[in-house]
């Protein structure tokens, strides 16, 4: 299935990207970028960064009161209100961000969407889609390390909306002005959360200065 990427959406003022600037994120992202970082080190850093990103990505989850008993007395606490969140990984590199997020929200269901870019048309082609139930009522946190051209991200979110998803957040480690503009044009209602807006794209559509191919560095492939 071929999915259109940056289609013009209805006239809505796009949500500005949220750039996470915590010192720990900046520190870990710097070491993630280093060419000499090993595969094991790269995976560890991605997991640690995903933990920090998940903390911000889940900030607006609803709570409900619950009566509990402490060792000293009863009290009213708060807990997450029902199965309100799920994670959607854009294969394959998105899976690298899942582990840390699931450490924090282990009960969240996970969906996967597989896309590849046709080398001639540059259109996103879907080869796999498996989503959790009740996706229309959940807050869907879409994960992919890189927002480069934005075409795959836009196509993935288009497909999720076709399946009923309405509350969507796109999270990535690195982004570019081109990718942000593409995703905002197609889906101005979707918030982008990123750790860095890099300079742009090179002639091969790689993010610069970037960190290389996130999937290859995660899985030790070339």
Confirm whether residue 157 is marked as ligand binding: no
152 is in an annotated binding site: yes
213 annotated to a ligand binding site = yes
214 annotated as ligand-binding: yes
The answer on whether 216 is annotated among ligand-binding residues is: no
Phi-psi region of 127 (alpha: psi -120 to 50; beta: other; left: phi over 0): alpha
Does the annotation list 27 as a binding residue? no
144 assigned to a ligand binding site: yes
Q: Is 204 annotated as a binding residue?
A: no
Tokens of 219: 């899985």
Q: Is 16 annotated as a binding residue?
A: no
Helix/strand/coil percent split, the chain, to 5: 30, 30, 40
DSSP state of 67: E
Which string of DSSP letters, residue by residue, matches 154-182? HHHHHHHHHTT--EEEEEEEEE-HHHHHH
Strands in the chain per DSSP E: 2-3, 18-19, 63-69, 74-80, 85-91, 110-117, 124-130, 139-143, 146-147, 167-175, 191-197, 200-201, 207-208
Ramachandran category for residue 205: left, alpha or beta (phi over 0 → left; psi -120 to 50 → alpha): left
Neighbours of 30 (CB within 10 A): 12
Q: Is 151 annotated as a binding residue?
A: yes
Closest to 14 in 3D by CA, of 220, 180, 142, 175: 180
Q: Is 207 annotated as a binding residue?
A: yes
Residue 99, marked binder? no
Q: Is 77 annotated as a binding residue?
A: no
Give the residue numbers of the binding site for uracil: 207, 212-214
Give the residue numbers of the binding site for 5-phospho-alpha-D-ribose 1-diphosphate: 92, 117, 144-152, 213
Give the residue numbers of the binding site: 92, 117, 144-152, 207, 212-214
């Amino acid at each position: 299935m071929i999915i259109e990427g940056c289609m013009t959406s209805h006239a809505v003022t796009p949500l500005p990207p949220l750039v996470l600037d915590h010192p720990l994120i900046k520190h870990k992202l710097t070491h993630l970028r280093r060419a000499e970082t090993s595969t094991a080190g790269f995976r560890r850093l991605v997991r640690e960064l995903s933990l920090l990103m998940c903390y911000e990505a889940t900030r607006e989850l609803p709570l409900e009161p619950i009566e509990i008993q402490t060792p000293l007395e009863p009290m009213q606490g708060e807990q997450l209100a029902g199965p309100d969140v799920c994670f959607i990984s854009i294969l394959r590199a998105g899976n690298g961000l899942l582990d840390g997020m699931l450490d924090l929200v282990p009960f969240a269901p996970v969906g996967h969407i597989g896309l590849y870019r046709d080398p001639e048309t540059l259109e996103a082609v879907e080869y796999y889609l498996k989503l959790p139930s009740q996706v229309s009522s959940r807050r869907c946190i879409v994960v992919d390390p890189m927002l480069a051209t934005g075409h795959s991200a836009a196509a993935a979110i288009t497909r999720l909306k076709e399946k009923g998803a309405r509350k969507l957040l796109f999270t990535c480690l690195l982004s570019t002005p081109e990718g942000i503009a593409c995703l905002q044009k197609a889906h101005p209602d979707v918030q982008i959360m990123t750790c860095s807006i890099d300079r742009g794209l090179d002639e091969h559509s790689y993010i610069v200065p970037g960190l290389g191919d996130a999937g290859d560095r995660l899985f030790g492939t070339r």
